[in-house]
A = this chain, B = another copy of it.
Amino acid sequence: MSQKSPFTLHCLSTECDARRGEVRTRQGVFQTPVFMPVGTQGTVKAVTPENLMEMNAQIILGNTYHLFIRPGHRLIESFGGLHRFMNWKGSILTDSGGFQIFSLKELATITEEGAAFRSHLDGSKLFLSPEDAVEVQQSLGSDIMMCLDTCIPFPSTRDETIRATELTTRWARRCRSAHSRREQLLFGIVQGGMYPELRKEHAEALIDIGFDGYAIGGLSVGEKPQIMYDMTRETVASLPADYPRYLMGVGTPEDLVEGVWRGVDMFDCVMPTRNARNGSLFTSKGKISIKNARFRDDHSPVDEECGCYTCRNYSRAYLRHLFQAREILSYHLNTIHNLHFYLTLMANIRKAIEKDNFARFRQDFYSKLEYE
């Protein structure tokens, strides 16, 4: 039932499960492993599409839940889709809304039919079935759509996990049936909590339905990093080698390195953008908090090794001043730096896999960390 895979493998690491490849969407091709900046409400917060292009972002993420509520998928469809509405020429992946609805907690009720919830904006009653989730994403015109899934709290018992995972399977089947615009890719989401055998079973059930790619969901929800890495490895082992693998909502720079090591192709996370707005900046030596008084007179850039617009033109002292003064330019320059850091990390990871020296790269990456 699945179409030809959108994934093309370039090369495999001989040292680990890392792989170098590309994914073809109707919008173009992106190189993997890839990090996708998050653009929740039709904008990657605090930067323009041109800023993203300059830092070689290839694909960004949009949040179905947010766009469904405001400004509405029909409005965006009338503009020819999200790409045109927001002026983004790269690829777009939309999530299904499941995770956001799950995050609403007492505002949401999950039934066999779908998710009933109240808008976080005005409290109005809304409903999203698996079919709705696909329809909304088809209207948004995203290049990669995600199945509506039920997220599993951490920790959960084996029985709770089985119930939620089986519902996710039934929803995945309904999403696949509702998927009419086949030029937009649809990914399934593997759940199974922290139970390796449930993850394996769920992966097999989804593969049986057949999707254009497979995501690893339900991780980075409070478990220790090592558990997340183990669950990633276990899940990847059950996924077909010829389809893209996407670890959802992950993570720190360390998490990206470890995820790639275990065979993941795609990542997304609000961390670089959200941290930027809080003054937390990534460097090759670790994170720094730009509001720290020790940067008051600091003439050096955020990261001597960084070639981003912010580091080429501004000192830590200036960035600290902007942050203290709550200037909008602070969020802009910090976001450019953090996203550039993430995207450059991924570009360097891709090069390392091509040269088959990713183990050495990973060792160097850790040996440079000083700050924490």
Contacts and interface: CB of A to CB of B under 8 A. Distances in A.
A46 B70 CA distance: 24
A328 B321 contact: no
B297 A41 contact: no
Given A75-B297, A296-B75, A324-B70, A85 B318 contact: yes
Number of copies: 2
A232 interface: no
A351 interface: no
Interface stretch (A138-146, A283-291, A309-317): A309-317
Interface in A47-98: 47-48, 70-71, 75, 78-79, 85-87
A70 B328 contact: no
Nearest to A74: B297
B46 A328 contact: yes
B325 A41 contact: yes
A42 interface: yes
Contacts of A46: 328-329, 332
B43 A317 contact: no
Contacts of A70: 321, 324-325
A333 B343 CA distance: 24
A62 to B, nearest CB: 13
A211 interface: no
Interface in A24-48: 41-43, 45-48
Interface magnitude class on chain A: 20 to 34
B71 A296 contact: yes
A79 B296 CA distance: 12
A317 B48 contact: no
A333 B86 CA distance: 12
A327 B48 CA distance: 12
Contacts of A324: 70-71
Contacts of A43: 322, 327, 329
B299 A79 contact: yes
A70 B325 CA distance: 8
A261 interface: no
Contacts of A87: 313-314, 318
A328 B318 contact: no
Nearest to A328: B46
A171 interface: no
20 contacts: A41-B321, A41-B322, A41-B325, A42-B321, A42-B322, A43-B322, A46-B329, A46-B332, A47-B329, A70-B325, A71-B321, A75-B296, A75-B317, A78-B297, A79-B299, A79-B318, A85-B315, A328-B331, A328-B332, A332-B332
